[in-house]
Structure 1
């Protein structure tokens, strides 16, 4: 039973002194490194593809003869359809494995991104970006499960932060392409989309070269040892276990969506329209706005990695609350300055806080999720939150159209005030929803049975090192107590029934 309003407290101290971070990193095998970095690259590709639109808003508006709020419809539609992709590819991953669903997902994204670079009118562009959302929606859950489940528990906090900041790295790469390549080629903004497509193909090729996740193979062998062998039988079991999980954990599913709604508003509200904000409200050119975006993403990368690492010691929720408060503190630096140095410092600090809190999310959701559904549950919660927050850019664009300010005698949209209000309100919501939430299910999710194994959807269905099923939690406790009582009773009976031995007999 999920217990909400769990107190915020530090994790219990380890039973023995943990190994140093360097020692743990050096102990990783080449395959573990490869799994992690391919998961990271997949998420980075997702960000490059998504932010291709954010960085091209002025060029797209000029190309299609539209206003900024019209162009941001493409961002909204992409976010809306991502939940569809999260369900489809998450289910495929938990049912069929981590490898080929992710390869297909990346190739689909590459094809749609390539097509977006060839569109000739705004309707075609919106249609491609809507379909593109389905492809993008699956990547996060698959990338997170690929990257994290094969790592030792002690490294997962740091790995979570580094993984999540693949998003910021992708934004940075897209910004550099937009800054250096796009202005030098006659096709303009289309070059950014085509380059992003090529990077996604590269990510798919690398994942195709690696084997299936060793943890998933282990779970599949355990299922087959229990008699679940045929694919049709596995699918029937999977559907039955999924239904049982949803019936038991529906409140946890709702909570996770609310949590990710707040997080996605925080991320998209501070990123999607930032280049436009720098140009329209602060009066900088696109080159300078892109440099400020790069500086902000450097803050995001450092914040995500640091927060993920420190969450191993502070706990996931305390870390989230701390970095969200840090975000709120730096909102004035984000919106008040008019110089490039001040605004760049604000971007760095705010993104350090925003993406620091985000750096905990991959491992927090993985540990919160019902263990057999660690690709589907986090991915769907993430993308449903994305869907609810999909209008972030449009909200800010519309707000800017109604809330004006005067810069150097020119009336312009006041995106500074709009973004400041939105980020502040959302930060308060994220803190609230994190404080009332749970930390349950635990960190050893890689030892859990697959959802297509009989009983695999149960919270206490685990496999040991030999692939043999055993139970933990309340079931294991009750069984151990019963066994101890039976053993004690047996010993008492033996001592009572044992005949006395005389010294003569003994001699």
Structure 2
């Protein structure tokens, strides 16, 4: 009997925890506003009673929790990770060849940097198109189509002969690239156990840094020894591997449950269009303010990323005279720091909170701006990117927990890419302002990019600290379609281990098995931090 009571007590706590993560429409009454802002600093810190659920081994060994993943979950994680990695590789092939492309097309560095800006500006279009398709039709085909388009466009970039052709193919590249982040994040994280999401978020996000690292290596091996065009041809072929891999895999369990729920609701309404509109109105009513916040947050993140990366190779070679070998070492060190930072900080976010982890990493980045910009070497590059990409490592799971579950690919992708749109002129701004600071005696066309990038990054870090400090957090929220179901009545059956529950609204909900709301008996409380 005591065991029976214990089981019921555990699940009542789980249900209260589940309901606490439901996003409610914003309330603009003065008590609500003052209460929210008054709680921003206290809620940075995880309560001690929650931390007591973890052992020191959980904290110090970031990989111990990964044994909970099944082979199916690993498969979907790596599908998302590798596509996102190669997406970054394709993007950075231009950043690493700005000078080479400028010489080949008889243009200035500033003009070629507009190709980077154009990609960032048009990524939102791809996020809208493929995000909606991914949330309503499945993530498999948007994934395959995106990678296919990227491969074709990379081949086209390798054949360009004029500046106008270069801008045209990069514009198309931006649309294709924009659809991948939301799709890949959903593939990688949707089915993963709660305890593993922090570190997996960091590993997934640092696919971006790993893609940059691979681009640096193949830049040295291919472009620096033959032609910059060959590295674009090489990048186009690898995407076919991931396309084939994805073709033979089904949809994630999370999406299959979402699809089933949608089809059942659409059947009761006798219209899929009506059901889609109903879900859209409901999600917008609950999440509209959080969506705006996500865009503002992602603007800061993208400014920090592109402001510290896009012109960094140009700064090393044009301003400080680094040869290919020294530049390669510095860029490799930067991306090793990014990979380590992303994994470590994202893992710690499970225990110290998403916002506090981001703030800590941003402060580290801000403290290292001076040596990174004025004493460039492998150490300063490693340290700054540890901070910048350490904060970024928390982004996939932080965005996923804040986004409406039925439109997660769309909202995470569009928030990310609208942030990219806001930051799209980062490299062009830095290049333009840098031209106002020519280095005396260094010859024509040599500018003090270090000074410009230091001022730029200082402003970005200050903005990011403010926006994260004032923002919300939904750490530990379920990622499935069941997340916004209000649970208020339940019973536990020993024979089938199912929860019977009703929603406290007009909509009826089918019986959920425990795993659908991550309430495995005896494990949820320990995972709820």
TM over 0.5: same fold? yes
Write the distance in 2 (CA, Å) between the matches of 1:248 and 1:48: 36
TM-score calculated relative to the size of structure 1: 0.85
* Structure 2: unaligned runs, 5 residues or longer: 1-24, 27-32, 491-496, 509-529
The Cα of 1:248 is off from its aligned counterpart by 3.9
Q: Distance in 1 between matches of 2:223 and 2:268?
A: 52
Contact 2:308 2:453 in 1 (8 A): yes
Q: Over aligned residues, Cα RMSD in angstroms? A: 2.6
Which structure 2 residues correspond to residues 329-478 of structure 1 after superposition, within 5 A?
329-337=367-375, 343-406=377-440, 412-440=446-474, 442-448=476-482, 460=486, 470-471=502-503
Please state how far the C-alpha of 1:99 moved relative to its aligned partner.
1.6
State the partner residue of 2:114.
73
Question: Alpha carbons of 1:227 and 1:257: their partners in 2 closer, same or farther (altered >3 Å)?
Answer: closer
Q: How does 1:52-451 map to 2 (within 5 A)?
A: 52-185=93-226, 188-226=227-265, 228=267, 233-337=271-375, 343-406=377-440, 412-440=446-474, 442-448=476-482
How many residue pairs align between the two structures?
Answer: 459
Alignment of 1:480-499 (within 5 A): none
The normalised TM-score by structure 2 is 0.81
Q: Name the CA distance, whole Å, in 2 between partners of 1:105 and 1:164.
A: 18
Q: By how many angstroms is 1:207 displaced?
A: 1.6
Helix, strand or coil at the partner of 2:183? helix
**What CA deviation, in whole Å up to 9, does each residue of 1:409-442 have, x standing for no partner?**
8882000000000000000000000011111385
Residue 494 (structure 2) aligns with: none
Cα deviations by residue, 1:80-133 (Å, 9 ceiling, x for unpaired): 000000111110111011222111111111111121111121111100100110
- Decide whether aligned partners of structure 1 residues 240 and 292 sit closer, same or farther in structure 2, where only a CA change above 3 A counts: same
Stretches of structure 1 lacking an aligned partner (at least 5 in a row): 450-457, 477-507
Kindly state the Cα deviation for residue 243 of structure 1 after the two structures are TM-superposed: 3.2
Give SS of 1:405's match.
coil
Match of 1:48 among 71, 82, 89: 89
Return the alpha-carbon distance in structure 2 between the equivalents of residues 376 and 171 of structure 1: 25
- Of the structure 1 ranges 62-71 and 370-379, higher mean CA displacement relative to structure 2 is found in 370-379
Confirm or deny: 8 A CA contact 1:372 1:448 kept in the other structure.
no
Which of the pair has more CA radius of gyration?
A: 1
> Over residues 443-481 of structure 1, what are the superposed CA-to-partner deviations in whole Å (9 max), with x where a residue is unaligned?
2122527xxxxxxxx67599x9979985489x99xxxxx
Does the 8 A contact of 1:39 with 1:146 survive in 2? yes
Listed one character per residue, the Cα deviations across residues 322-365 of structure 1 (whole Å, up to 9, x for unaligned) are: 0000000001110222xxxx522111000000000000000000
Mapped contact 2:258–2:406 kept (Cα < 8 A):
no
